[in-house]
Structures are given as C-alpha cells and as structure tokens.
Chain A
Amino acid sequence: MTGVRITAWLEERIDLWPLRHFIGKKVIPVHRHTVWYYFGGMTLFLFAIQVATGILLTLYYRPSGEEAYESVQFIMTDVQFGWLVRSIHSWSANLMVLMLMIHMFSVYLTQAYRKPRELTWVTGMLLFGIVLFFGFSGYLLPWNVLSYFATKVGTEIAGQFPLVGHTLMRLLRGGDEVTGATVSRFYGIHIAILPALMTAILTLHLFLVQKQGMSVPPAIEQAHRGQPLKTMPFFPNFLLRDLFGWFVTLGLLAALAALSPWELGQKADPFAPAPAGIRPEWYFVFMFQSLKYIPAKIGPFEGEVLGVLGFSLGGLLLLLIPFLDKKSAVGEPSPLFRSIGIGIIAYIVIFTLLGYLAPSVK
C-alpha cells in the first residue's frame, strides 16, 4: 500500500513513464547460451559487496608502514565481526575476478564484441584492467611478507617498460623502494582513484548494454534466420533468476569467510629474505609462472623486458579484438579469432596450474 502511495507521490512530480516503459520493454533472448548472460550481473553484485565491505574496512584501517599490519590485525581480532567483513572483502574480490574472467571470455567466444558492440567490449576490457589493479593495490594493504614481495616484484615489472619504466615504478611506489609511502599511495589508489574511474566507465558500460540489448551469438542468429527468437521479460523473470544467483553467492561468501577466514600472515620486513613458495594472487600466477621460464637474455634483449612487452601486447590485442576481427563484424563465422581466444584461455589455465603444481624448490 505504502509503495503504491510513494509511487503515486513521485509520479505526480516526476514523469516515471519512460523508466516504466523501458523496464517493461526490456527482454532477454532465450537460447542455449543464455546462461552466460548472468555473469556480468554476478560481477556487478560482487562489486557492490566490495564497495560495502570496503567502506566498512576504511573505518578501522590505517594506511602507513607502521600501522597498516597492526590495524588489520585489530580488525581481525578485536573489532566485532571484523574477521567477517575483511574475509568477505578478500573472498569476494577473488570471486569477482573469476566471474569477470568468465564474463569476458564468454563474451569473446560468443563474439558479442562484434559490431555494433565494440565500445561495450572496450569499456569492459578497461574495467577488467581496473579490477586487476584493484586486486594488486588491495593486496599490499595488509602489509605482510607476501604482499610486500608481490608488490616489489609487480612494481619492478612495471619498471621494465622501455623509456617510461623507471618513472612509472617511482610513481607507483611513491619513492625508489616499496615502503610505508607505497602503502599510503596504494590506499589512495585503491579507495579513491580506482573507484572514481570504475564508476565512470561502469556507468558507460551499463548504459551501452541497456541501449543495445543483449547480443545473440551469430550461430544462433543464423539458425533462427527470419524467425523471432524466444525471449523472456527482464522484469521480473530474468531479474529474479539473477537474484537467486546473487543469494547463493552471498551464502557461499559467508560460508567461505566463516570456514576459511582470510589469513594475515607475518608483518612485512624489508630486511628478511623472500619466503619459499611465494606467489602472487591466483589471477597473476600465469604471468608469474611465465616469467620463471623466460631466460635472462634472449638475443640482445633482457628476458623480463620481452616478457613484460609480450604481456602488454597480448592485452592490447585483446582490447582491439572487435576492430581486428573483420569477419565477425559482418556476421560471418571467424574461426581464427575463436582459436586465438581458446588459445589464450588454454595458456592462462595451463600456466596457472603449473604455478601451483610445478614442484617448488627449497
């Protein structure tokens, strides 16, 4: 009853018709690949959890070399439900990257990036880059041994870029070395700069998705040539299914946080050796493992410089896929780009597994 009255009150003042009309008209195509449509929404849901838990963490976290570790320890041991908030933040971050990767590669393999959705793909790839940077910057904030060396190596890799590398590394570190100044800087990046960028680009991404509707894979479009595809209304049918998925994820997050609270480890010590078995977060492991295999010198070039350039080139290639894949732009099948996509996925999976399974030396 109250809801109706509030709507009527609003309706008297603001014309809600365009919004109602838009929601009423929005439909989701139903076919055998419809399941992939849920992953974007799932990523968005996990991002909302990150914002909420992240805001809560800022109330106790102190970004400096002297206090960061102790403040996270305080959150984990003294603050009521602090362990829960921090563990959900960490678990949700990892699940978010996973969902984002599934979303990205499902969009790739169903060629949803093709004309007219090039900009949606480009904004999506930018969001992916921002999310990885979120992960990288957030990882340092507890200031423990693992995060210290991960940041040292990560920023050193950025320093390998020809010409701009050194400046970039100093910009990231807030000095020549990874110190408390880096913690302060990463904190600013993590809670202000990245959220601002993310909000702007995410708004554009979502606007494009709403404006253009869901893409249907070319194979399915062709099979239904001339016949309209089956659809379901977005509201409430699809949204209720979305909600169901989110609810299950929320349960999963709570279970993970309760059964396996995120560890804090040892406080960072710049004058201790890197511990055996050190590795970055799982989503960087494939790059980390590749760097282990690249020899020190390849011809006249330093191995790691070539490695870094190779990964940057790979990222750039992925960003520009809609413009390189001319066949799918005109609705034709594009086996070459399909194989490239499958190749990238296989590379990431194999090198990630190697990172965990290859015998670690001590």
Chain B
Amino acid sequence: MPEQQPEPQDEQVDHGRRTVNWLLGSSLGILFVSIVYPILKYLVPPKLAEPTTFSVTLPWKLAELKANSGRIFRFRSLPGILVKTSAGELRAFSAVCTHLQCTVQYREERQDIWCACHNGVYDLNGKNISGPPPRPLEPLKLNVRGDQIIVMKG
C-alpha cells in the first residue's frame, strides 16, 4: 500500500489537539499541586520560639543536697541533671542521653550517670564510658551564690 502523506490540515488539527491536551494536563497538574502543597505545609509543625532564658535558678538550696546524689531539673524546654559527687563537688549536664534522647539518671551505688533505655553509662565528667551513647553529655555551667544554685548554658 502506498504511504499516504499527512495532509497539512491534519497536522494542524494534531497540533491543536496536542496544545489542548497540554493545557488540560498542565492545568490538572497545577490543580493537584495547589491542593497538595498547602496540605503538606499544614502537616509540618511550626517552629516554636525557644525560651530565651539564659540561666535557671534551681528550686533547691545548696544545703539540701546530699553528697553522692543526683537530681533532674528543667533547663529551658529540656531536662538537666545536677550531681553532687561524694567529694561534695557540684556538676551539671544536659540530662538528654546522646544516644536516643532518653532522660538519664544518677546511680548512687555505682556513682555514674545511667540511661535506662539502652543501658548507656556516663562518668561524672559526662563522658560516655559504656553502651551505645556516641557522645558525652552536654555540660552546663554552674554558679553558686550563697545558698542558691544557678545553671547556665555551658
């Protein structure tokens, strides 16, 4: 069968169809994006302003603290840990375990800082000494004024 050359008129019609298809397709695409985009944005929680307080005065008096003990306190929006060593020295760290963010605690009998979630252990300098934690605890600065204990970002 001899091949038929497409007539110029057909080509014009094809071109017109392609244009209409493209316009319809892209407007459907834009409609889809304009629906999905706000939904996706809605799902992302807004950033909340971090508390700007630089230092926190702890709710305990210096004299209240026993040697060889530890207490959890609130530092900005996260927990911190205050340790009084058996020698009577005060130390403070962020109480957020560097492994998977559980809250650590002081173990009096072993004199270390321990995370119960995955058995991570830190020494009293906050250094990770066993278990899965990859980094030391973040140290916090301490300032003792009379009987008051003030904690600051390290």
Contact = CB atoms under 8 A, between A and B. Distances in A.
Is the pairing of A and B real? yes
B95 interface: yes
B73 A296 contact: no
Contact of B128 (A167, A176, A296): A296
A276 B116 contact: yes
B115 A292 contact: no
Given A273-B116, A296-B132, A303-B134, A181 B45 contact: yes
A176 B78 CA distance: 11
- With a 10 A CB-CB cut-off, give which of B45, B73, B77 has the most chain A CB atoms: B45
Contact of B79 (A271, A288, A294, A303): A271
How big is the A interface, by class?
35 or more
B116 A271 contact: no
B116 A275 contact: yes
A295 B133 CA distance: 8
A272 B80 CA distance: 10
A170 interface: yes
Contact of A153 (B47, B100, B107): B100
A122 interface: no
Contacts of B47: 176
Given A156-B101, A292-B118, A273 B95 contact: yes
A270 interface: yes
B48 interface: yes
A362 B108 CA distance: 10
Given A171-B45, A270-B79, A303-B132, A152 B101 contact: yes
Interface in B63-95: 72-74, 77-79, 81, 95
Contacts of A273: 72, 79, 81, 95, 103-105, 116
A241 to B, nearest CB: 44
A152 B43 contact: no
A274 B103 contact: yes
Given A173-B45, A270-B79, A361-B119, A153 B134 contact: no
B131 A292 contact: yes
B144 to A, nearest CB: 22
Contacts of A302: 134
Contacts of A156: 100-101
Interface residues of B, number: 32
B100 to A, nearest CB: 4
Interface string B121-142: 0000000100111100000000
Interface in A253-288: 270-278, 288
B44 interface: yes
Nearest to B95: A273
Contacts of A24: none
A224 interface: no
A202 B44 CA distance: 28
A208 interface: no
Contacts of B77: 177
A175 B73 CA distance: 21
Contacts of B116: 273-278, 362
Contacts of B36: none
Contacts of A295: 132
Interface in A171-210: 171, 173-177, 181
A272 B119 contact: no
Contacts of B131: 292
Given A271-B72, A276-B116, A304 B101 contact: no
Contacts of B23: none
A157 interface: yes
- Closest 6 CB pairs between A and B? A273-B105, A296-B134, A274-B102, A156-B100, A274-B116, A153-B100
Interface of B: 43-45, 47-48, 72-74, 77-79, 81, 95, 99-105, 107, 114-119, 128, 131-134
23 contacts: A153-B102, A156-B100, A171-B45, A175-B48, A176-B47, A177-B77, A270-B103, A271-B72, A271-B79, A271-B103, A273-B72, A273-B79, A273-B95, A273-B103, A274-B116, A276-B116, A288-B118, A291-B100, A291-B132, A292-B132, A296-B133, A303-B134, A304-B132
Given A272-B72, A273-B79, 4 more contacts: A157-B100, A271-B74, A273-B72, A274-B103
